[in-house]
Chain A
Amino acid sequence: MNITCQDRDRIFQHGTPEDWTGLELHAESCAKCSEELLAWKNLSVAAGEMGEEGDSPLLWARIETALREQTASGTRPDWLWQRLENWASHSVGWQAALAGTIVLALAIWGGYSHWGRVDRTDRNVALLKSPALRDVENSEHAYEQAIEHLAAEAKPQLENAESPLAASYREKLMVLDGAIDELRMQAGQNPSNAHLRRQLLAMYQEKQQTLQDVLEIKR
């Protein structure tokens, strides 16, 4: 194989073992490639040394105790809350927005439960029936599209800004998108679960509010 200096970066990036052999041969007669190859390898060797780590004899005991305590207290399905916990250290404004969303979600849930008790004798109050489900899905779809339009409007503002605030907004939106994706996946598996739908609505509302905040900065 005829390897030249121009092949070097390609081989560093995704070369085959044969490419590497060819590069080694070429480096024997090329000082620049020889230097680069040595530097490239030294990086790997130095990185390999970073892998040596001292023991922490008490760590497993600590973890085991924590696992037992968690088992005893009952594991909670908190994949959503784990993410939201990270916002505990956010600014008061964001915490207020999050609290508002939770209050809103609770209000919707309360209203729905009350309405369900009054108007339904059906014991499966939490399950949406298919015509209602269609309505919900249609509304959700329209709402989602509206938020996507908002997201498109806010995109340049988010991408171009380098401030810590913009970075925080970007991260928050990533967390919200992740939560929305997971909720949608769960709702897809269990489409009649009204509780999931309400959580999804709360996440969409939070995303909408966040995007509006981003656009506010622009103004």
Chain B
Amino acid sequence: MGCGGLTLPWGTRISTVEGGGDSRVASSEGQGQQGPGGAGNPDDVAIAALCLAGDLEGYERLYRWQGTRMKNLARHLLGTQSDAEDAVQETFLKVQRNMASFRGQSSFVTWTFRILVNTCHDLRRSRVRRKEHAHGESDALPPSLEPRAAVAHPALRLALERAMVRLTRHQRDVFLLYEVEGFRHSEIAGMLEITEAASKNTLFQAKKNLRSMLEPPTSKAREAGR
């Protein structure tokens, strides 16, 4: 697998936000804190109740609370802002259509994100098929992302975005949900219908693959020489 141009400046010391970077590195699972995905959050229950009653305020509150995050995830899965917005809109419509089947076995946010992930994959599949029909060839890779606003470490992020395209779909989903969107493994397990252990293993494999793809050539040569 080629990795030209993906070298990450590993030597760069990045100052992490207080407790932020490390908390996503070191395990903080199972310590009783409230999950970002709404598990145990009274808002989650209240919003679900409003939506179940058919009150549009519930959907608006859900959008204000999680809309940015939903768009962000959709954008990383689909590649463009406009596709991401379509996916978020379609997700809200599906949530409304299927509210009666929400059983409360997971948090409402977790359930919503499960629908979002599936919607994004459906959209991507149909887009790939349309491309196949149009060009008569396969294009299974997700599209590269549109240019983004400037950030503190643009080279690092650009390299990461390019490398993520080469992960398996499952690895990319877990990596995005955990590292980018900040969900806990227990929440990701609910969204992707896998076990927590599988979520942890997949994240590990994803990061290992990314590490390998982004490794500086000198390190690789050194490893090979051993």
**A45-B153, A49-B153, A86-B122 given; A70·B96 CB < 8 A:** yes
| CB neighbors of A among B153-183 (8 A) | 153, 156-157, 159-161, 175, 179-182
Residue of A nearest to B178 (CB): A47
Contact B132 A164 (CB under 8 A): yes
**A39-B10, A40-B211, A89-B129 given; A59·B85 CB < 8 A:** yes
Chain A residues with Cβ under 8 A from B207's Cβ?
12, 40, 43
Which of A53, A66, A82 is the one whose CB lies under 8 Å from B89? A66
- A36 CA to B215 CA, complexed, in Å: 10
- A38 CA to B201 CA, complexed, in Å: 20
Chain B residues with Cβ under 8 A from A76's Cβ?
97
Residue of B nearest to A171 (CB): B125
Interface bin, chain A: 35 or more
Task: Digitize B6-46: 1 where CB-to-A-CB distance is under 8 Å, 0 elsewhere.
Answer: 00101111101100111011111000000000000000000
**CB of A217 within 8 A of chain B?**
no
- A56 CA to B159 CA, complexed, in Å: 26
**A46-B160, A47-B179 given; A78·B97 CB < 8 A:** yes
Contact B160 A43 (CB under 8 A): yes
Task: Digitize A1-18: 1 where CB-to-B-CB distance is under 8 Å, 0 elsewhere.
Answer: 000000001001111110
Interface bin, chain B: 35 or more
Residue of A nearest to B179 (CB): A47
How many Å from the CB of A177 to the closest CB on chain B? 12
Which of A52, A54, A82 is the one whose CB lies under 8 Å from B94? A82
- A40 CA to B175 CA, complexed, in Å: 13
Contact B71 A53 (CB under 8 A): yes
**A40-B25, A50-B76 given; A71·B182 CB < 8 A:** no
Which of A20, A50, A71 is the one whose CB lies under 8 Å from B25? A20
- A78 CA to B210 CA, complexed, in Å: 39
How many Å from the CB of A70 to the closest CB on chain B? 6
Chain B residues with Cβ under 8 A from A16's Cβ?
27
- A31 CA to B98 CA, complexed, in Å: 54
Contact B12 A54 (CB under 8 A): no
| CB neighbors of B among A65-91 (8 A) | 66-68, 70-71, 75-79, 82, 86, 88-90
A-B contact pairs, 8 of them (CB 8 A): A39-B8, A42-B156, A43-B179, A43-B214, A44-B21, A48-B24, A67-B96, A89-B126
Q: A residues near B, CB below 8 A?
A: 9, 12-17, 20, 35-36, 38-56, 59-60, 62-64, 66-68, 70-71, 75-79, 82, 86, 88-90, 164, 167, 171
Known: A46-B159, A63-B92. 14 other contacts (CB 8 A): A14-B27, A14-B197, A41-B16, A42-B10, A43-B210, A43-B214, A45-B153, A46-B14, A47-B175, A48-B17, A48-B179, A50-B161, A67-B92, A89-B126
A-B interface, 3 closest residue pairs, ranked by CB to CB distance from nearest:
A47-B179, A20-B26, A13-B204
